Amino acid sequence: MPELSRFFGIIIRMFAEAGGPHHAPHFHAYYQDEVGIYSIDPVEMMAGSLPKRHQRFVEAWAEMHQAELLRDWHLLQEGRKPLPIKPLE
């Protein structure tokens, strides 16, 4: 699963589903042993869990980079490599 960004110990990844079933655009946020799965539009946790502070970081980052997340989703669905997204600073 390609890594799109990394900040504050959080790793953002997105599955490639080229030729597979098309789910709603989403990404995965990993922090230590926890994972949250977020929809892109609207940005909200669909499954999993993260510590509250890290959940807020992910949501803020995703709101700022929503267009880039959607771009990467479409690239992956076309079987292409996603582009990195600037981390939260």
Q: What is the pLDDT of residues 26-76, one digit of tens each?
A: 999 999 999 999 999 999 999 999 999 999 999 999 999 999 999 999 999
Residue 86: inside a domain:
no
How far, in whole angstroms, is CA 63 from its chain's centroid? 11
Q: Residue 20: is its pLDDT beyond 80?
A: no
Domain span at 23: 3-77
Residue 83: inside a domain:
no
Split into its structural domains, the chain has a count of: 1
Residue 51 DSSP symbol: -
